[in-house]
Structure 1
Amino acid sequence: MTALLEVDSMETAYGSSQVLFGVSFAIAEGEVATLLGRNGMGKTTTVRSLLGLTRARGGTVRFQGERIEALAPDRIARMGLAVVPEGRQIFPNLSVSENLRAFGANRNASSEPWTLDRVYALFPRLAERSRNMGNQLSGGEQQMLAIGRALMTNPHLLVLDEATEGLAPLIREEIWRCLATLRAQGQTILVIDKYVQRLVRLADRHTIIERGQVVWQGDSEQLGADPSLWQRYIGV
């Protein structure tokens, strides 16, 4: 499979405090991959560095074969890398439909484009709340909207930072169902989440980060067969 994203020896710091120490991983076209680890171990910093929000100080990042570690965030986004950020960050004073329309683009021209109708079919609850303002939605509905908004850019790579954090069990199931649907449609996805049992069933490959370093990589069969890894590095 062709690598869509290749991260090689990435190092990132905030001021004089280094956070990432030579992080390396790759995601193939059509693959679902994860970044795992306890809170504060560097997962979100990795995502921020991929997006150009926190500039990597060392290593290389290639997206669709092009080096992007020195590019501005808007340029990276236009290349087709979309994120569902931790905390959702939807526009509170725009309606559901306005939030979605504001992000409409076709970065991935080879695929069937995402439209309002497709997003509403994926998340019927958003169709029911299409005229509600962002700040009138529940946390779960906001997460659905954040995912739909990212899909409206028709990304080559969809990144979800803390995909189901703080959501009620029934809403978490809705998000897992959505991600399984996207995987079946061939969407390349990078997921950060703590529910390893669900990620083992969803994802192809996994990368565990501890104190800013990659400490384990492997496929779902390997991770599922060694629960001691979950306890040692993820705390579950």
Structure 2
Amino acid sequence: MSTILRVDNIETAYGASQVLFGIDFTIERGEVATLLGRNGMGKTTTVRSILALTPIKRGTVHFCDHRIDTLPTDRIARLGIAVVPEGRHIFPNLTVRENMVAFADNRSKTKDPWTLARVYQLFPRLQERADNMGNQLSGGEQQMLAIGRALMTNPHLLILDEATEGLSPLIREEIWNCLGQLREHGQTILVIDKYVERLLSLADRHTVIERGRVVWSGSSDQLHESPDIWHRYVGV
């Protein structure tokens, strides 16, 4: 495997309030990685820093052999990063189909790109609701749509911020199964979520953040053998 994302010692602040203090981690191509930690510890700010939505003060970010911390957000997205944001942010006045085709692209230049047909196969419910407006969907359906919309850009890296937040157990399991299928197809994924026990079987490696600093990193096997780590820093 080769490194697809490298975050080196980044520091980020909102005005005079510093949030990140030297965050370091890497993601290998084809890997599923996580950022873990309680709310307010810097996970979303780390994602925003990677995307240049919140400019970093120090450190560097490299993606697919490009230094991207000096680039604008739209340029970073076109290099092949797609985000399923916290809160989903789908377009309420577009249909399910229109939400997905609005930004469709083949950014990773794959020979087997994600299409509407493939996304519908992954999420049959979206095909059933194809002509419904975004604001007519349940929370779970909106999350499926947000994932499908991201996949339609055919990204090198898929980032999910609070992947199953607020979803019912049944829908949550459907999302986990979807991510498992994506992993089998070689999709590189970064997941932020609080369900550590479920992530242990899905992810290859984990980075735990506490108050803007990396306090632990390692494999799923290592994290499984250290439940005190996730009880202490994630609290579930």
User: Normalised by the size of structure 1, how large is the TM-score?
Assistant: 0.99
Offset from partner CA, 1:27-55 (integer Å, 9 cap, x none) = 00000000000000000000001111101
The aligned residue for residue 139 of structure 2 is 139
Q: CA deviation at 1:230?
A: 1.3
Q: From the superposition, tell whether residues 39 and 210 of structure 1 become closer, same or farther in structure 2 (CA, over 3 Å).
A: same
The aligned residue for residue 187 of structure 1 is 187
Q: How far apart in 2 are the matches of 1:54 and 1:227?
A: 33
Q: How far apart in 2 are the matches of 1:110 and 1:116?
A: 15
Q: How far apart in 1 are the matches of 2:220 and 2:59?
A: 27
The aligned residue for residue 84 of structure 1 is 84
Letter in 1 for 2:223: L
Q: How far apart in 1 are the matches of 2:106 and 2:28?
A: 21
Q: How far apart in 1 are the matches of 2:12 and 2:22?
A: 9
Whether 2:51 is the aligned partner of 1:37: answer: no
Aligned partners of 2:106 and 2:113 also within 8 Å: yes
Q: How far apart in 2 are the matches of 1:9 and 1:209?
A: 13
RMSD value over aligned CA atoms? Answer: 0.5
The aligned residue for residue 54 of structure 1 is 54
Letter in 2 for 1:154: N
User: Normalised by the size of structure 2, how large is the TM-score?
Assistant: 0.99
Identity %: 72
Q: How many residues are matched? A: 236
Q: How far apart in 2 are the matches of 1:5 and 1:90?
A: 26
Whether 2:100 is the aligned partner of 1:100: answer: yes
Q: How far apart in 2 are the matches of 1:47 and 1:102?
A: 23
The aligned residue for residue 6 of structure 1 is 6
* 1:222 partner SS: helix
Offset from partner CA, 1:37-81 (integer Å, 9 cap, x none) = 000000000000111110111100000111000110000000000
Q: How far apart in 1 are the matches of 2:158 and 2:41?
A: 21
Higher mean C-alpha deviation, range 83-92 or range 65-74: 65-74
Whether 2:111 is the aligned partner of 1:128: answer: no
* 2:191 partner SS: strand
Aligned partners of 2:110 and 2:154 also within 8 Å: no
4+ long deviations beyond 3 Å: none
The aligned residue for residue 170 of structure 1 is 170
The aligned residue for residue 27 of structure 2 is 27
Q: How far apart in 1 are the matches of 2:160 and 2:89?
A: 13
Whether 2:207 is the aligned partner of 1:219: answer: no
Letter in 1 for 2:31: E
The aligned residue for residue 204 of structure 2 is 204
Gaps of 5+ in 1: none
Q: CA deviation at 1:110?
A: 2.9
Q: How far apart in 2 are the matches of 1:103 and 1:235?
A: 37
Q: CA deviation at 1:111?
A: 4.2
